[in-house]
Structure formats: C-alpha cells, structure tokens
Amino acid sequence: MSIENSKADKFDFVDRALAERVEQQRFRSLQSVVPIDGVWVWKQGRKLLNFSANDYLGLSKHPVLIEAAQTYTHRYGTGATASRLVAGNYDIHHQLEEKLAAACGRESALLFSSGFQANMTILGALLNPQSCVFCDRLIHSSLIQGIRASGARFYRYAHSDLDQLERLLKKASSQSFDRLMIVTETVFSMDGDRSDVDALIRLANRYGAILYLDDAHAIGVLGKRGMGLAAFQPDVDLVVGTFGKAFGAFGAFVACSRKLRDYLINCCPGFIYTTALPPAVIGAIDAALDLIPNLDTERQHLTKQSQNLRDRLQAMGYSTLNSDTQIVPIVVGESARTLELSQALEAKDILAVAIRPPTVPEGSARIRLALSSQHQEEHLERLFEALEAYVH
C-alpha cells in the first residue's frame, strides 16, 4: 500500500461503523431542544410535550435552585479551578458531602463529576484482575465499562435472577479470587423495575461480597425521605447517586464508609485527577437537597401518574415490562418500527425518544417514557390521544 493510499484509508473503520449503524436503523444524531419549563421544550420552532427527560421532580427549573446557583457563583466564581487534592477543595464541597452523608444515613460521601465517570473510576479502583464481579444483565453501560477496564473476571446473571446469582457466588467463593463484588442498579434505567435490595444485602453478607448499587434513578423519588432505595442501608457498601435526574442539576456522589472514602481519595484516578465540580452546580445540589425530603406530595403524584400511565398503555395492548416506577417503557421490538412510532408522536407534538440496541437488548427497541411530577392528567391525555391516532 502506498503512503497516499494509507493516509486515505486510515478512517475506513469509521465509514464502516457509521454505514453499519445506518443499515441497522441505529444511527444517532444530536437533536437540539430548548427547555421551556418542567415538561415543555422547543424543537425546531415547535412546542413539544417532553416525556424523555429525567427531571423527575421538575427541580431543574425551580427558582430556589437557580437562585442558589447564582449566589454560589457570585461568591466563589464560575469554576473550582483545580482538583480537590490541589486547590479546588472549597469549603462548599466538604459541607455538601457531609450533608449528603447525613441525608442518606451513611458515614460519608464523596463528590464526582458525573454518574458515568463515578462508576467507571470507582469500580476501577476497587477491582483488579484477581477479582470476580457478578452483575445483573441489564446494568448501565458505565458499570460494564468500569468492570471491563479493571480486568476483573465478571459474570452477568439473568435480570433480577437472584437464585442464579447465588449459584455463581457459591461457586466463586470456593475459588482463589481475592475479592467478590455484586454490582447492580436499584431502579433499572431502561425497564423501570427495581432490584430486591434486602435480598442482595443478604447474599452479599452470606458470601462476603462487596455490594455496589447504582441508585441514580431512585434517589429523589423513592425510599425514606426520597433519598433512594439504598439509603439508610449500612450493609450496602457503596451507593452511587447522581444529581442530573431528580436533583435537577449535574454531577454524582458515592455514599460509603469513611474508610472507603479515604481509599477513594487516595486510590481513585477519576477523583484524584479531575477538576472539582463548579460552585454553581454545588449551590443547585445543596438547594435541591434541602427541598427533596419535603416533596412527598410530588412523589405521591408521580407514583399515581406512573401507575395510570402503565394501566392505560397495557389496556391499549402495549408491553411495559415489569415497570413499577416513573420510568415506563413502551416495548415495540424492531428499531424501524420504534423510530416510526417516535416520529408519529413528534408529529402530534410529543417528544418521546426511541431507544434502540445496543442500549437495550436485541429485539426490544422501545419508547422510554420518563414521567415528572410536573406532568398532569391533561398531559397524559395528549399522549394517549397521540398513541391512539398512531394505532388507528
């Protein structure tokens, strides 16, 4: 091959990958929207009712969060300017971590830049090639990527099949692994169902396994004082929560023991080498943390609307899997048909994005509906009318 041809061909792999995604109806592109309030957005000059955001309590537009973000910016500036171990460890970071730990009923907490970054780097710090990990088949990509990057041996048990998990744990416990770990989500981001946290705790204790739970889609919405399904559970070793969903902000944290916090500060590259979260974000999170424990009325409304949505969809013949949370999938199956439904809904001024493989398993492409406490009866009626028009 000549030098000229070599240069021309060096990105052939990109062309092949993109062509494959187009052929399989999996090509993705960025679509800009402009938020109006908790449930409406502008897209290409049209006002759409949004059923695809994770703003479960509508806090991203809450005036108290906006005011706190502005106040913190005026006092501390727009950026933290350094990593926490250098000069970016502001008093507000430490204060928020103490407040988060207390709110979750844990000894301590540590802030991270995002949920994906937290899962990737924490798992990498806790595992090594001599470790063995057991994870639910439907866990988030960030968890899988973190486990793979660690070099640990890992096994994926069938979704929520804790009998299979126990068989795997029993077998591994007689082998020469230096540590065992169970990794799963509390609320599954694409199916909207829950893990049995109490049963997972029993298995982890029985086999001496580290229990790592991603509570991203539960925190703010479920559990004691809305602090998630893993809150106030001292036998859960590490709980990761995010602020970009019910908190209406950005970033993530891990709640754990003081010993594990010290370990991560010293041994977790994603914490050590990352600039601290900016003051405006810390202010918004702090304000949300004050509000969330007092939003029981909003959570009850969200629960009621989610059940209403599931009942109506099932009556229309749609599968919502085992959803019992604010995440309600409409399983279509084929990617092309799922895209068609999403486009039909958008033509009726409904934003409901198609989720396709590899994000979900083959043959299970879906519309993932994410409800907010800001959605009212009339909003659901608009959705049902649009779905009925598509069916007929």
Q: Which domains does the chain have, with CATH numbers?
A: 26-57+295-391 (3.90.1150.10), 62-293 (3.40.640.10)
Q: Which of 287, 304, 323, 288 has the alpha carbon at shortest distance from 373?
A: 304
Residue 2: predicted pLDDT: 59
Distance CA 288, CA 284 (A): 6
Q: Region of 25 please: left (phi>0), alpha (psi -120 to 50) or beta.
A: left
> Do residues 384 and 345 lie in contact, with contact meaning Cβ atoms separated by under 8 Å?
no
The pair of three-digit structure tokens given for residue 143, joined into one six-digit string: 């968890």
Q: pLDDT category, 306, cuts 50, 70, 90?
A: very high
> Do residues 84 and 266 lie in contact, with contact meaning Cβ atoms separated by under 8 Å?
no
Cα 236 to Cα 202, 204, 214, 224, distances in angstroms: 10, 9, 11, 15
Query: What residues act catalytically?
Result: 54, 140, 185, 189, 214, 217, 245
Q: pLDDT category, 148, cuts 50, 70, 90?
A: very high
Q: Which of 53, 64, 104 has the alpha carbon at shortest distance from 246?
A: 53
The pair of three-digit structure tokens given for residue 92, joined into one six-digit string: 């507000």
Per-residue pLDDT, averaged over 120-126, amounts to 97
Q: Would the pLDDT of 350 be above 80? A: yes
Residue 63: predicted pLDDT: 97
pLDDT over 90, % of the chain: 93
Rounded to two decimals, the pTM is: 0.93
Distance CA 161, CA 164 (A): 6
State pLDDT tens for residues 160-193: 999 999 999 999 999 999 999 999 999 999 999 9
**Single-letter amino acid code for the residue at 122:** I
Beta strands in 270-334 (DSSP E): 327-333
